[in-house]
């Protein structure tokens, strides 16, 4: 496949997944969303390290569009779903931090020791909960 075709495929999937994540956050109870995210994978594909970077790239590019209005939780759910489809074990992480205006929450995805950028700085957040088949 051509590189241009691969890019388009990932971008389209990321746009659909972010839209579905926005709908899920709005209409589905959180316990159902997080129980889905915590299910183990049916099969693990260990030889797809480059696909995780493609997923991160696609979610980042689609979420950067101002019209999509994707917050960190939407981005993290979309990236987690895309990685699950490919059989890549990942963790959906939720964290909190104390800011001047009060508490701030953030969501991100981890694949092994690598974090997929979901629009914020994860280093300042204390891990509150993690969901997914990659509890390392």
Please count the other Cβ atoms lying within 10 Å of the Cβ belonging to residue 62: 22
Number of H helices, E strands in the chain: 4, 4
Going from the C-alpha of 50 to that of each of 15, 18, 54, 116, 124, the distances in angstroms are: 20, 21, 6, 13, 27
- Rounded mean pLDDT, 78-106: 91
Angle (nearest 5°) at CA 44 between 111 and 88: 30
Rounded to the nearest integer, the mean pLDDT of the chain is: 88
Concatenated DSSP letters for 68-81? T---HHHHHHHHHH
- Model-level pTM? 0.90
Residue 85 reports pLDDT greater than 70: yes
Q: pLDDT tens digits for 6-55?
A: 999 999 999 999 999 999 999 999 999 999 999 988 877 776 668 888 99
Nearest Cα residue to 114 out of 69, 71, 55, 61: 55
Residue extents of the structural domains in the chain? 3-131
Nearest Cα residue to 121 out of 110, 130, 103, 108: 108
Residue 134 reports pLDDT greater than 60: no
């Amino acid at each position: 496949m051509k590189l241009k075709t691969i890019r388009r495929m990932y971008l389209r999937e990321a746009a659909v997944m972010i839209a579905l994540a926005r709908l899920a956050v709005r209409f589905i109870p959180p316990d159902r969303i997080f129980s889905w995210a915590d299910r183990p994978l049916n099969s693990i594909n260990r030889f797809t390290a480059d696909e995780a970077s493609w997923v991160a790239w696609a979610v980042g590019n689609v979420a950067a569009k101002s019209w999509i209005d994707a917050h960190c939780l939407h981005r993290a759910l979309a990236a987690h779903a895309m990685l699950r489809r490919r059989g890549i074990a990942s963790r959906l992480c939720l964290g909190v931090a104390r800011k001047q205006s009060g508490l701030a929450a953030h969501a991100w995805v981890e694949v092994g020791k690598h974090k997929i950028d979901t629009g914020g700085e994860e280093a300042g957040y204390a891990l509150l909960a993690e969901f997914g088949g990659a509890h390392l």
